[in-house]
Amino acid sequence: AAQRIKAGVGRTMDSVPMVEVEIVDMAEMEDVRRFSDKLVELGTQIDILVCNGSLSMGRMYRTEAGLELMVATNHLSFFLLVNLLLPAIAIAKGTIIMVSASLHEKAKLEMDNLNSDKYFEQSKTFANTQLANQLFISELSRRCVAHCLPVTANCAELVQSRTGLSDWMDRVTGREA
């Protein structure tokens, strides 16, 4: 996949001097921090940050840090990533795009169950992560304008695709059919 990305970007963006692909485990906040720290340390200016990727699992999984997997992957990782990289995005007068499913319209955040500590319901948990992303980007956009921060933050609607990620997770966790 990394080679295809490099090849595709090279063909369409001749002015891009270098493309690097980095694998980041978005379920693990320490990995998100490591990645962000690396970019900041290198002095990277970020013209555009596309936060795209979410998963929906049929049962609850916890990360090593005890976070519910969908919450960690779909929302918390992007919240952390954007906040850590915001200065690099502002220097470039960049744009943040949060890709979110329209299911946010069916969500109702339960502040006392954000991490599915009381109960887990797949559709509710997934929808709540999408709503959390929508609310985050909306508030971030408002604050950028209010504080004259040269960053544009918008949401874009997710188009579903069959990636095989759920099947892979089932194999890794021993839930194979």
Angle at the Cα of 124 from the Cα atoms of 102 and 111, rounded to 5 degrees: 105
Q: State residue 177's pLDDT score.
A: 46
Q: State residue 19's pLDDT score.
A: 62
Q: Bridge partners of 62?
A: 68
Q: State residue 104's pLDDT score.
A: 63
Task: Output b/e per residue, 136-151; b: 16+ Cβ within 10 A.
Answer: bbeebbeebeeeebeb
Successive 10-residue mean pLDDT values, the chain, 177 residues: 58 57 91 96 91 87 94 96 97 93 77 90 90 94 96 83 62 60
Please choose, from the candidates 146, 34, 133, 154, the residue with its C-alpha nearest in 3D space to the C-alpha of residue 89: 154
Residue 146's identity, in one-letter code, is A
Is the pTM here over 0.75, yes or no?
A: yes
Q: State residue 110's pLDDT score.
A: 87
Tokens 């188009």 belong to which residue?
159
Residue 167's identity, in one-letter code, is D
DSSP 8-state symbol, 74:
I
